[in-house]
Structures are given as C-alpha cells and as structure tokens.
Structure 1
Amino acid sequence: MNNWVPSWWPALLYSAKTAVAALAALGIALLDGQAMPFWAMSTVYIVSNPVAAATRSKAVYRALGTIIGAAAAVFMVPLLVNSPLMLSLALAAWVGGCLAVSLLDRSPRAYALMLAGYTATIIGFPAVNRPEAIFDTAAARVTEILLGIACATVVHSLILPQSLGSRLGPRLDAWLANAESWLADIVDLRPGPDQRATFEQDRRRLAVDAVDCVLLATHVPYDTSHWREANRTVQALLYRMLLLLPILSGLADRRRGLGDDPALAPALADARQWLADGTDAADQPDYLAGAQPASHWPDLLRESFLVRLGQASMILRESRQLLGRLDDPRRALPAALAGERVHLRLTNDPGQALLAGLSAMLAILLVTAFWIYSGWPDGAGAAVMTGVFCCLFAALDNPVPMILAFGVAITSAIPFAGIYLFGVLPRVDGYVELCAVLLPPMLGMGMFLLHPRHGLLATAFAMGFFSALALQQEYNADLERFINGNMGQLLAVLAAAGVSAALGTTAADAAIARLVRRQHHDLARLAGANSPPDPARVLSRASDHLSLITQRLGAGDDRAVMGLSDVRIAVNIAQIQQLRASGDRRLRVACTRLLQATSRYFARSAPGDAPPPALLVHIDRALRSTLGAAPPRAGHGGELIGSDPATGRAALVAFRRNLFPDAAAFDPAGIGGVPA
C-alpha cells in the first residue's frame, strides 16, 4: 500500500460503502412499504465483501438459496400446520439435510443450499400462528433479501471497487517467489540440520496458502476485470502451484540423499544461473543433456533428482508465463498452455457432513419442543436462531467456541439497540434524521468488519443490532416484547452449543487422525483404479488434505511431514498408473502387481504402520522392467504424468524413497530378492 494512505483508510472506506448500501436498502424498503426493512439492512452486512467479485458471488447464491428456502416453507407450512410436531420435524430435517449436502461442496455454491435450509425456518416458524399469510411472508422475505443483495452489489461494484486480481495476484506472485526460494535452497543444500524443522514447517504452510488461493479463485468468474475472462489461466496456474508441492518436496528428498555429489555440479550450476536470470526471462536448462540410461541405485537417484529438477524448473517457468498473462491479457502464451483445461476438486468429509446435519436437526427439535410445550409466544425466534447458529459453524471441528462467541456478539448488541429503540428513535422524524442517527454506530461497527480476528463478530453485532431494532414502517416499540423476543437468542445459543458439544465436536487430534485415514483411503482407491486418474483431481485432493492437516497442527509436528509425503505418494501412484497403461506386457504385469499390493497396504494398515517388505519387492521388480530405457524427455509442465518408461522409472525411484527411505540399495540383478 502507498505510504501516504493511512492504515485505517481501507477499513473506513469499506465501512462507509457498506453503511451507504444498508441505508439505501432501508430507504427503498420504507418507500416501497415493505414489512421488515431491517432484513434488507442485515443482508447488506452479510453479503458484503471488500472484493467486489466475492460480493457478487455471494449475492447470487444467497438469492438462489433464499428463493429455494422460501419455496420449501410455502410448501411445508400449509401442509403440516395442524400438526406442530410434524412441521417441526419437517423443517428441522430440511435444515439438517441442506446443511449436510452443502458441506460436501466447498465452493461458493454451498452457501446457496445452506441458506435454503435456515431460510425455510426464518419464514416457516413465525408463520405457524398465521399460516394463511405464509405466501406474503415468503414474498416479503425474498423481496427484502433481494433488495439488500442488489444494494450491496451495486455499491461495492461501482464505488471504488476492489478487483479480485488486486487481492489474488499479489498472493500468487508471493507464492511463486517462495517456491523459487525453496528451489534455490534445495540447489544450494540449505538449510543446515539445526534449521531444518523450521524450514520444513514454512514449506508445509505453502500447502495452506495454495489451497487458500484455490478457494479465493472460485470467485474469479464474478470479477469485472479482465480476470473474469482468464479463469482457465487461473486454474492452470493453481494446478501448477499444487504440482510444485510434491515435486519440490521430492526434489529436496533426493538432494539430501545424494549430498554433495560431484556428478550433479553442472546441473546445479545451470539451475543457479537460471534462477539468477529470472524464471520468466530465460529458457530452462536441459539438465538431462547427454545422460546415459541408469541402472544402479546411485545413478537412479541422480536421474530422479534431475527429472524432478527439470519438472520444477519447467513448471516455475510456465507459472510465471501464466501469471504474466493474468497481469497483461495481451501477452501471448505457448499453444500448450493456452489450450489447457484443468478441473480442480477439493476434498470433503461425508461423515462430518452427516453429523453436522444431525446436530442441527436435533438442536432445532429440542428448541421447538420447548416452544410448543411451554406455550412461549416468541419461541419461533429461538428455533430460527438455533438453526442459523448450527449452520454457520458446522464446518469447524469444534463449533462450540465460535457459536458462543457469535452468540455473545449478537446478544451484546441488544442493550445498545434498546438504547436506540427507546431513547433515540422516538425523537427521530423522517428518513434523513433516521440515517443521521444510524450512521455513527454503523460506521463504528463497520470499522471492524475487515479485522482478521474480529470481522465475523462485528458482522454478528451488526445482525443483532438491526434485528433488535426491527425497523418498520411506523415506530412501534414494546419493552416487554423486546425483552421476551430477544431472550430467544440466549436459548438458541445454549441449544446450538450444547447439541454441537454432545454430537458435533471433534478434538484436533481426532480430526487429524480422520484426515490421515481419509488420505490413506484415497491412496488405496487411487492405486486400485483400473485406469490412469485425472492428475488435477489427484493433486487438489491430496494437497487439500495436507492443508487441512497443517492448519490443525502446531510447530514441529511430524504428522504434517507425513501429510506432505502422502501428497508425493499420490503423485507417484498416478505416474505408475500411467506407466502401466503405456508399457509393454512385462511392465504392465509388474506395475499391476505393485499397484494391487499398494492398494491393499493403504486400505488395511493404520496410519504410521510400516509398509510390508513384499511391497519393496514389487517396486524393485517394476524398476527392473524399466531399465535400459532412454533418459526421460522434457515436456509440457502441465503433463504431470509422463508416458515414457524413463519418467515412470523416476516415479518408481521416488515411490521407493517415500515408502522405504532406509531400505538397502536397489539391486538391478534381483539376486536374493524375497518373493512376494
């Protein structure tokens, strides 16, 4: 940021833009005679984002979710209004089902289904006492939500909009700079043993940063800059970022295994010079020029290192070309890059999704049972907020702390809203005066919206403030109703937190163990597949697992090291699958047996179990089937899986190093091998 721009300016600008959008939504709702204008104001604060593309993305899916939820409520309430228990069960099941399915998709699309779940309760539960007005209530809800969405989208798109490229571009550039630094450290055999733990921890964070970029890039199609037309370029670049993680990690492993090998000196000198010249300014060196077919273990290790060094250099160069195209759309790309199509898919957890949906359903049922049997006139609000709290934080391993913090933020706004409702608003006459008295607290709340720790709580405070004020066409404040209605939020917090603590809480260690098991199940399925997999899906899922594990770990935890090793193994298996598909009969048989043994190992063993010796025998037999092949060919960096036997041979060497790092050297003659 420029030095002349104060550090508080972005927060103030964003706060002012959001306040303008909310007040515009309020004014239009009042002018149009809408029943609940505060719904439109709250929507503005919910969908707003400093990046205009993210605001539009969220707006589209919030609109879709609102319409679906309203339709569900209109269908269920008239049908089941005479059976309160059945209606409660139907609405609770709807919320739980929508939430569970939404958690299986980590793209912005998930927001639509989650919102469809609790929107049905927002419309359905309050309409129980007036079922004949359900359609009017649903129409009002949809109209005011769409109004808030429209105002937020227009304001954040027209008034000093922030392009997604201005947020994502620097992150991509910084990530590639870190990857280039990693390659330079590998070439120079840095760091020393005393620094290696911190070094490896920093490198594992690259997985988290890469997946964060993948998630941020889901908003690219909604950007208004040239980035919107460059979505394929963004996906190709993200694919290479994910690909660099296992390649650089494997390269570091080979480098440590080879040490100061004099035979590597020419290639290392070329790599240093290439990095010094700039990865986007020069052709990469041919590290395998003049190489002879490898057969003995030191030669195989050296060849594997040079293959990985060539792949890393090529992918870094192509990544810089792609990033340059994003910065300047007039910049030409090589034909292979321009025509590439990549589909990245992140992982999901069906078990956690089902448990979260069940927790939300049970919590809503408990609150509605209390509401029905106690005769509490304002119990509908408690049932509604219970569903909202359960849905918002269902993706967390332990949602209880955030539910409590969010609930505290909402309820802490209630006394402040009471001061305004009973002390300030009675003296206000007209829309202009109303805006004048509302603007100061809105600007104050908005200043915290961009804070990395307090932004979500500031949004909760704003929601609580607007909901407690409940601005309508005419001033109509009732202290008893104000207290009684807002007490429901306390019950909702307790119910959502209590049920989540009983059913939906997972300790960090248990969550990590579950992620590691899922990664091993993925490896077993990958090895057991009958055809070569889509490399982009293999990489995105494996890297996402590593990211989720790393996010839950502290410094120096060996489980993140294992997670990075699993990403390398996933790539190795994908390469071996391709080697099997393109090899001769002898090689196909050897690779098939190896893949079958690998699938059995990952399917049956617990994380941390040593692989069986028979698996090493299968790796060595497959390796022998590749001996004598010509050195690997340099190719397009997006081709994760080379089809020539020599590239497959490098993958087998890497697979052997990953699973059996301390095994005896490979014996090309196979003398004394233990039969499988």
Structure 2
Amino acid sequence: MSTRDSIRDWLVTDGYVWLHLAKTLLAAFLAMGVAMRFELPQPRVAMTTTFVLMQPFAGMVLAKSVSRFAGTALGMFAALVLGAVFVQQPELYMFALTAWVAACIALAVRYRQFRWYGFVLAGYTAALIGIPAVADPDSLLIATLTRGAEVMLGIVCSSVVSALVFPRHASATLAQTLARRQARFASFASDVLRGRLSRVARERRFADFVDEIVGFEATRGVAAYESRALPSGRRGLAALNSAFMDVCARLHALDQSMKRLPAARDALTPFLEELARIFEHDALDVHLAHYKATLATRLDFTTSAELLNRFVDDTLRYVSISNSDLSNESVASRFEAKTSRFVIAATFMRTGIAIAATAWFWIVTAWPSGGHAVIGATLACGLSSASARPSKFIMQMAAGAALAIVTGYVFLCRVYPAIDGIALLCAMLAPPLAAGAFLAMRPASAGYGIGFCVFFCLLAAPDNRMVYDPGLLLNNGLAILAAMLAVAMMCAVVVPPRTQWLVGRTLAQLRAMAALACEGKLADLGERFHSGTHDLMFQLRGLLVRRSREHRRALSWMLVTLEVGQAMIDLRREARALNAHCFPDALQSAWRASLARVLRDIAVLFRAPGSETLRRAIASVVASIVIAQGVRDAVPAGRAARRDMQRVLAHLHVVRTALVDPDAPFDR
C-alpha cells in the first residue's frame, strides 16, 4: 500500500475520530469564551451542553439541538410553575419535582433516539434550576433566565462548529450504507437459496438485519436536518426501508418452506439456483425482471412456488426503489417504534423512588451539599434510561465522576492559579477533556467518558468569578458520587430492565404483533406490523445476552411472528379481493366463518401460547383449508376466482406448516 493510500485510509478511519475530538473541544472552548465575554454566571453550563450535544454528523447535532432546545424550554417553564405553586414548601416542591422528572424520563423511554434527550433534559433542567431555589425562592426567575441563556449558547456553538468546520453529513453516508446493505443481502440470499447456511447462522444474519433496519431509520431521521433536498426523499427512504423489511420476511418464509417441504425444494432447486446466480450479478433489477416474466410460465402453482413468486416481487420492488429517484416516491411508509407500557411504568417507578429517597435524605438532614446529590441522582437516572443495564452504566459514570473530582481538585488548587489568559486556559483544559470525549465515543466506555466530562464541567470548570474552595468542590463531588452509587444500587434492585418479568412483557408485545396482523385495519398494516416487530426485537437484543438461550428463544419468536403475521396479512388481502359472486352461497358463508375462526385462534395463540391454543389454531387452519379447497373446486378451471382461491390456500398452508414445525416455540 502506498503512502497516499495509507493516509487516505487513516483519514476515513482514525482521522474522523481526531476530527470529532477537535471539533468538540473547539465548540466547548468557544462556548466558554463567549459566556465569559457576556459575563454569564456559569460558563460551565454552556461547556457541559457542548459535550452532550456534539456528534460525528452535523445532522445529529442539529437534531439533538432541536430536542435540547425544546426540552430546556419545557424544563424552564416547569421550574417556574412548580416554584410559584410550592413557594417556601420544600417537601411539596420536591415531591412535585420528583414526579415531573420521573414522568419526563419515562416519556424519554417511550420516545427514543433524539427525542429521548429532549425529555430527559426537560426533567434535568427543572431540577438544575429549581433545586437551588428550594433554599432561595427569590432567585428562581434569574436562575431560569441565566440557565436558559447558557444552554442556548452551548446549542449555538455546537451547531455552528459542526456545520461549518469540516462538516460530515449523515446524508452523504446513506448511499454507501444502502449499497453495502444491498450487497450483504444479495450474498445472504444467494447462500440461503443454495442451502449453504446452518439454521443458527441464518438466524444470526436475520438478527443483524434487525439492527441495520432500526439504525437506518435513525440515520434517515438525522439526515433530514442536513439538507433541503433530503426531506423530499424522506418518503422514498422510508419506503425503501419498508421494502427491505418485506423482502427479509419473504426470504425467511421461503427458507422455512424449503426446510419443511423437502419435496418442494427438490422440485424448485433449478429455479432457486438460477435465482441465486441472479443475486450475484450487478444488474440485479434487469435480471430479476426477466426472471419474474418467465417464472409464471415455467412453474406450477404450489405453496412454495407462491412464496418464491412473492419473494421475487418484493425483491424487485426493493431494488427498483433503491435504483430510482427517491424524491419521486409517492407511497408513504412510517416506522412505528413501540415500547411496552410496563417498561415505561417501571422506569417511572424506579426513577421516582431513587430521586425521592435522595431528596428526602437532603431535607431531613439539611445536608449542605444535598442539592448536588439530587442533581447527580437526576443526571444518573436520565442519562442511563436508554441503557439496557442502567446500574452498570451509572457505575461507569460514577467512576468517571470520581476521576473528575480528583482532576478538578488538581486544576482548582494548582492549574488555575498558575495560568493567565484564555489561550493558556484552553491549552490546559484540552488534554483531560479530550480524553473524556474519546472515552465517550466508545460504546464500551461511554459511561466513563460522559461521567468525566459532565461532572468535571459542572464541578471544576472555570467561571467568570472563580471561587477557590477545594472543600466545596470535594463536598459537592462526594455528594454527587454518593447519590450515583445509591441510584446504581436502586436500579439493580427496583425492577431492573433485564428482569425476567419485564423481558417477558416485551416478548409478549412482540408476539402480539401477529395478533395485530389478524385484527388490525388493513390500511398500512404491513408497515405497522413489520416496523413494530423489528423495533421490539431490537429492544430485546439490547436486553438479552447474545447467543444465550433466551436470545435464541426471542429470535425464534420474532421469525415465526414475521412468517405467520405476513401470511395472515396476505390471506386477509386475498380474501377481501375475492370475487364472492363466483361461489355458491352456502360455501361463501362457510368460508367466511372458517376465516373468522382462523383469525381469532391465531391471535389467541400468539397472545397466550400453549398446547391447547396451538391445537385449536391448527384445527381451525386445517378446517379452513378443507373448506377453501371445496370453494376452489366449485369454480370451473381457468377462471380467475379459482386462481385467487389457490393463492388463499397457499397462505393457509404457510400458516399450517409454521404451526406444526417442531422447531417452533409455541409449545415449549
């Protein structure tokens, strides 16, 4: 490799890391300098804002800034209202403030991604403004205004630096992401069609696609903040992600049919081999279109043939959308994120107990640093609410905060008195803050970096009027540290996210998506079904240990939910499109009754899986197949209604084979 190639490779890997660190420090020091020039009381708040806001892509910063602005405004309003209603009543004030913070963090768990931080900040801002006002209510209005000014300054500095200084755009990476995903899927589909992968390998690849689908949806939302042209293509990107979910589900259903019906695989082997070779070509859309045009004339109508036909249709649609102008896409698709109401309630209860216990101890003991303890508890609950293991994340934050206390003590006693001027101040602050920001960029060490940067800025960053009181720094720091340790223990005891009961409720909500396929309105049902199923599986993958028995079981439920749910949606659509006038009246009523029983029993099976509900569902499907065959045979050969009924039978056979599969998780 030449020197030029080595430099280019470094620029697109480690170079981006160093660029992000440099931009983060530049935004922090710019916010600090402007806050000092405007003589705001706490430039440290503006610095903290930049460390929380800075992201690798400009759209991430802008999206987070919008959420932070809205959350700050809402928190300021809540602090003013609560302070006015409960003036000079600290017990009632802290009770109301605790309820407000717990509600905000619970909503943050419900509305994730960048909206998550907006809700977290709405609670944290109210605490940061209102807690000092417990002892001094007259300062509430001034504290609200100055806090808002400092936060907005941090938002502006982060946005300006991210947008103007060597900006990186998420929209520019979307094309590369889509190309890589399409190439990986083509390779995976070729391996599946040829039967090269084991069951475990196939399941893992499908699970990886779940992460890619949810991650792409987040990137798509971020990229909309970066370009004026992109919002016109947002609908096309959403449709593309929806089409990818459809084609993944079709591939799984086809693979399961080949596994359960060896005779069908033998009959379809030439067609599968030809399709596998097509996936290895570059001009996938052209070859697929030709394959589709000749498939119907070469293939007899069977259940597996119908699955192959629909897989080709959905793949062709996905490739066509990918190769077309996304701004011309007119079909609206919406990704619906779902969070179990039990998870939301558990988050509210856990947060409320942790903050209320800290506030009660502060009020009862009249602890001088108790206000900082409550702020630390609020930060710990808020920033860890997105983590599947909040106690571990808070312990990392506590370790980072402990290091920040030691570093802050050194800076307060030795560094600040020995330097003069903003340039030297920035030079001395750069090494520790850069180290903290670097740790925050790594998922495994994010808690350490966030804890260090946030609490170093809150405890020891320079202000316009410096107070050289090491005792105050240590007292406040130890109060924050003690509160975070207490909250970590609380999160490990009070309904932790990984508790079996909560995981079971999320898994039940995943299974209920199949019931939605049976009972929901058909309009946009496919998008709602697929997005909800993939999002819930994404949550479970965060909660469960990878490659564990529980993870395998959850993945099995996701795959069978996708298979049966998609078949039920197809069945309902085909049944609605049937020309009922071609069938005798007696057969029509019998068919409608049998279809209603199938929909009901499948929904009951996925809501309450067990031996009895499984037997009832299998019996309903078999009875419906018998009736559907009678309806089909009552129509003369060659009529369109007969072919339509044959497709209905294919969907029923898919459901039946899924229910009787010995590897299915229904009766374990």
| Residue of structure 2 equivalent to 1:390 | 381
Contact 2:621–2:655 (8 Å) recurs in 1: no
Higher share of residues assigned helix: 2
Residues of 2 paired with 1:350 and 1:379: CA distance?
Answer: 33
2:577 to 548, 572, 582: 582
Aligned to 1:603: 607
In structure 1, the residue matched to 2:251 is: 248
Give the alignment partner of residue 364 of structure 1, picking from 350, 355, 370: 355
Q: In structure 1, how many angstroms separate the alpha carbons of the residues matched to 2:538 and 2:415?
A: 49
Counterpart residue number, 1:504: 495
Q: CA deviation at 1:265?
A: 4.6
Amino acid aligned to 2:340:
D
Matched, 1:515 2:506: yes
Question: AA paired with 2:307?
Answer: F
Deviation at 1:172, TM superposition (A): 2.6
Alignment-derived partner of residue 583 in structure 2: none
1:376-525 alignment, distance < 5 Å: 376-507=367-498, 509-525=500-516
- Alpha-carbon deviation of 1:138? 0.7
Alignment of 1:128-527 (within 5 A): 128-191=134-197, 195-224=198-227, 226-259=229-262, 261=265, 263-278=267-282, 279-284=284-289, 285-286=291-292, 288-290=295-297, 294=301, 300-322=302-324, 325=325, 338-507=329-498, 509-527=500-518
Structure 1: distance between partners of 2:510 and 2:630: 29
Deviation at 1:213, TM superposition (A): 1.7
Contact residue 103 and residue 110 of structure 1 kept, 8 A? yes
Say if 1:41 and 1:339 are closer, same or farther in 2 by CA, change over 3 A.
same
Measure, in 1, the Cα distance between the counterparts of 2:610 and 2:41. Answer: 59
- Counterpart in the other structure of 1:617: 622
* Cα distance between partner residues in 2 of 1:232 and 1:354: 33
Unaligned runs of 5+ in 2: 581-587, 664-668
Give the equivalent residue in structure 2 for 1:667: none
Contact 2:254 2:307 survives alignment (8 Å): yes
Report Cα offsets for 1:560-585 as digits up to 9, x if no partner: 12321112222122222323333334
SS at match of 1:405: helix
Give the unaligned 5+ runs of structure 1: 295-299, 634-642, 664-676
Equivalent residue of 1:384, what SS? helix
Tell me which residue corresponds to 2:666: none
Aligned partners of 2:173, 2:450: CA distance in 1, in Å? 21
Deviations 1:569-604 (CA, angstroms, capped at 9, x unpaired): 221222223233333345433322211222232333
Sort the Cα spacing of 1:632 and 1:160 in 2 relative to 1 into closer, same or farther, 3 A: farther
- TM-score normalized with structure 2 length: 0.88
Q: Using the alignment, how far apart are the partners of 1:627 and 1:553 within structure 2?
A: 48
Q: Distance in 1 between matches of 2:249 and 2:613?
A: 22
What residue in structure 2 maps to residue 554 of structure 1?
546
C-alpha displacement at 1:70, in angstroms?
0.7
CA distance in 1, matches of 2:639, 2:223: 37
8 Å CA contact retained: 2:27, 2:158: yes
Name the structure, 1 or 2, with higher relative contact order (CA <8 Å, separation 6+): 1
> Aligned equivalents of 1:457 and 1:489: distance in 2?
15
SS across alignment from 2:254? helix
CA distance in 2, matches of 1:622, 1:344: 37
Inter-CA distance 309–602: structure 2 relative to 1 (3 Å threshold): closer
Q: Distance in 2 between matches of 1:340 and 1:450?
A: 37
Which moves more between the two structures, 604-613 or 511-520?
604-613
Quote the offset at 1:453 in angstroms: 2.0
Deviation, structure 1 residue 262: 5.3
Residues 100 and 123 in structure 2, CA contact (< 8 A), matched pair in contact too:
yes
Letter in 2 for 1:17: K
1:341 partner SS: coil
- Correspondence for 1:650: 650
- In 2, Cα distance between equivalents of 1:622 and 1:226: 53
The residue that corresponds to 2:57 in the other structure is: 51
Query: 2:33 is matched by which residue type in structure 1?
Result: G
1:477 aligns to what SS in structure 2? coil
| Equivalent residues of 2:526, 2:569 under 8 A apart | yes
Q: Which residue matches 2:533?
A: 542
Q: CA deviation at 1:16?
A: 0.8
Moved more, 617-626 or 136-145: 617-626
**For the residues of structure 2 that align with 1:462 and 1:547, how far apart are their CA atoms?**
29
Mapped to 1, the partners of 2:217 and 2:43 lie a distance apart of 36
Partner of 2:7: 4
Q: Aligned equivalents of 2:355 and 2:367: distance in 1? A: 15
CA RMSD, aligned part only?
Answer: 2.8
Deviation, 1:662, is 6.1
Query: Retained in 1: the 8 A contact 2:372–2:480?
Result: yes
Name the CA shift for 1:4/1:607 in 2 (closer, same or farther; >3 Å): farther
User: Any idea what the Cα deviations from partners look like across 1:302-348, whole Å, max 9, x if unmatched?
Assistant: 323332332343244225325xx46xx7xxx6xxxx22211110221
Q: Deviations over 1:182-206 (max 9, x none)?
A: 2212322223xxx432343233221
Question: 1:632 and 1:11 mapped to 2: Cα distance?
Answer: 64
Q: How far apart, CA to CA, are the structure 2 residues paired with 1:605 and 1:662?
A: 15
| Equivalent of residue 83 in structure 1, options 80, 89, 97 | 89
Return closer, same or farther for 1:619/1:118 CA change in 2, 3 Å cut-off: farther
Question: Secondary structure at 1:81's aligned position in 2?
Answer: coil
CA distance in 1: counterparts of 2:435 and 2:612, whole angstroms: 51
1:331-389 CA-to-partner distances (Å, cap 9, x unmatched) read xx6xxxx2221111022111111111111111111111111111111211111111111
Cα offset, 1:607, TM superposition: 10
Q: Quick one: which amino acid aligns to residue 513 of structure 2?
A: D
CA distance in 2, matches of 1:281, 1:180: 15
What does 1:15-164 align with in structure 2 at a 5 Å threshold?
15-164=21-170
The percent identity for this pair of structures is 22
Q: Is the 8 A contact 1:180 1:316 kept in 2?
A: no
Q: Which moved more, 1:466-475 or 1:414-423?
A: 466-475
Are the aligned partners of 1:220 and 1:231 in contact in 2 as well (CA < 8 Å)?
A: no
Cα distance change, pair 381–321 in 1 and its aligned pair in 2 (3 A): same
Q: Deviations over 1:454-499 (max 9, x none)?
A: 2442132111211121421122211221111111112221231232
Cα distance change, pair 646–180 in 1 and its aligned pair in 2 (3 A): farther
DSSP 3-state at the match of 1:4: helix
CA contact (8 A) 2:67 2:114 kept: yes
- Shift of residue 513 of structure 1? 2.6
Deviation at 1:451, TM superposition (A): 2.5
Distance in 1, matches of 2:166 and 2:615, equals 57
The TM-score normalised by the length of structure 1 is 0.87
> Structure 1 residues 274, 293: closer, same or farther in 2, change over 3 A?
closer
